[in-house]
Amino acid sequence: MSAYDLENVYWFPFSDEPLIKGGLLTPKLCDPCFLFPEQAPDNRWHLFAHSLFFIHHFISTSGIKWTQKRPIVLRGHSPFIYKEESTYIMLYEKHDVRLLPRSISAQDDVKKSQKGFSRFEMIMSTDLYHWSPPQTILECQTISKAYDSLKLPRISRPQLFKTSEGYRMFFGASHILLDDTGQKVSRHFCTALSSSLDGPYTPSSEPALLSPDSLDKYRNLAAGSMKVIQCNDGFYGLECPIFWDGNKRRSSSAMVLMKSYDGISWSQACPKPILTTASQGWTQSYIMSADAHYKSSERCWYCYYSANGGNRRESIGLLLGEERR
């Protein structure tokens, strides 16, 4: 399926501790995406992740020790970087806090706060430091699955790829609040297609690509997050699905390798997960998201991922992957 077949990769943690921890004002750092130095104009490593308040920008000369730069987007979530020629396009979810008087009825609240609804925006840059004004490219009201079991629809974690069909976007739709911990996770995994970068994007005729499945060992509660990797003749995906762990008697998650030849039909590529939650420590609760790229000069995969422990503080760690011989 790919010159760098992920099904033959052996994964191991760089460290038992996270590389990037949240601070006092950023107790949760979520949904990392990153670029190698050879992909960046300044020959540095770049990593983006979100906290409760901002999309944050980190740079590094090693990929191990990171320095935080100025925040990029207020109230932005789940950044994703797509490069076209010399332009970097950042996609993210925007879900504004709605500050409206309590006297407004629920119906008026919805009508008068459309901008507070979940939506995808994009900004552009040529240097990764200075960004254009945001442009909305997809709104949650156009996605039927975004309404599933919610009063206000939600879409999340946008990703964009150029294919022979046009621009294909993958994203999460709706969410579930887990009964035992209160953790919020994406319910469905969906896709939409457009002939141009800025849309409009038409959702797939399929209701959802991945959804909760009571018979699936790792996805019986929610699809969770999925980071897509485009390959020579298809796609791989690093899914962090949510399931009920009968041994631990609580909800849990894992990082599972998925694959698809057309971006529509997905199946589990390997029987065992790449990563599972630990018995204690910073990954003991949930593995939430991941991003991976192949570094050809080192013949190694880098996978930065976010996870949380008993204190619900989400941090970012690193997995390395080498081809089995």
Distances (CA, A) of 251 to 133, 161, 224, 247: 40, 32, 12, 10
pLDDT at residue 218 in the model: 97
How far is residue 72's CA from residue 45's CA, in Å, rounded to a whole number?
17
User: Is position 274 within any domain?
Assistant: yes
Q: What is the DSSP annotation of 72-89?
A: -EETEEEEEEEEETTEEE
pLDDT at residue 151 in the model: 86
Mean pLDDT of 281-300: 95
Contact by Cβ (8 Å): 172, 158: no
Distances (CA, A) of 230 to 115, 170, 226, 288: 32, 12, 13, 21
pLDDT at residue 204 in the model: 86
User: Is position 111 within any domain?
Assistant: no
Q: Is the confidence at residue 108, as pLDDT, over 70?
A: no
User: Is position 271 within any domain?
Assistant: yes
pLDDT at residue 97 in the model: 58
Q: Is the confidence at residue 143, as pLDDT, over 80?
A: yes
User: Is position 1 within any domain?
Assistant: no
User: Is position 129 within any domain?
Assistant: yes
pLDDT at residue 278 in the model: 94
Mean pLDDT of 46-74: 96
Q: Is the confidence at residue 318, as pLDDT, over 50?
A: yes
pLDDT band for 232, please (50, 70, 90 cuts): confident
Mean pLDDT of 208-229: 97
Percentage of residues of the chain with pLDDT beyond 90: 83
Structure tokens at 26: 């950023």
- End-to-end Cα distance, the chain: 18
Quick check: helix, strand or coil at residue 185?
Answer: strand
pLDDT at residue 205 in the model: 78
User: Is position 64 within any domain?
Assistant: yes
User: Is position 104 within any domain?
Assistant: no
pLDDT band for 314, please (50, 70, 90 cuts): very high
Please give the order of strands across the beta sheet that includes 300-308.
Answer: 9-13, 314-323, 300-308, 286-295
Q: Is the confidence at residue 128, as pLDDT, over 50?
A: yes
Encode pLDDT of 145-182 as tens digits. 999 989 889 999 999 999 999 999 999 999 999 999 99
Compute how many other C-beta atoms are within 10 angstroms of the C-beta atom of residue 84. 12
Q: Is the confidence at residue 13, as pLDDT, over 80?
A: yes
Compute how many other C-beta atoms are within 10 angstroms of the C-beta atom of residue 303. 24
pLDDT band for 106, please (50, 70, 90 cuts): very low
pLDDT at residue 310 in the model: 74
Q: Which domain holds residue 36?
A: 6-98+116-323
CB neighbours of 109 closer than 8 A, spacing ≥ 6? 98, 100
| Adjacent-strand bridge partners of 13 | 319
CB neighbours of 246 closer than 8 A, spacing ≥ 6? none
Mean pLDDT of 31-57: 97
pLDDT band for 2, please (50, 70, 90 cuts): low
pLDDT at residue 113 in the model: 43
Q: Which residue has the tokens 């949510």?
A: 242
Least confident of 65-69, 97-101, 185-189, 243-247: 97-101
User: Is position 110 within any domain?
Assistant: no
Q: What is the DSSP annotation of 234-256?
A: EEEEEEEEEEEETTTTEEEEEEE
Q: Is the confidence at residue 4, as pLDDT, over 60?
A: no
Domain count, the chain: 1
Q: Is the confidence at residue 99, as pLDDT, over 70?
A: no
Mean pLDDT of 119-125: 97
| CATH code at position 187 | 2.115.10.20
AA letter at 40: A
What's the burial of 201, exposed, middle or buried (CB within 10 Å: 0-12/13-18/19+)? buried
Encode pLDDT of 76-86 as tens digits. 999 999 999 99
Percentage of residues of the chain with pLDDT beyond 70: 92
Contact by Cβ (8 Å): 135, 122: yes
Contact by Cβ (8 Å): 178, 242: yes
Q: Is the confidence at residue 101, as pLDDT, over 70?
A: no
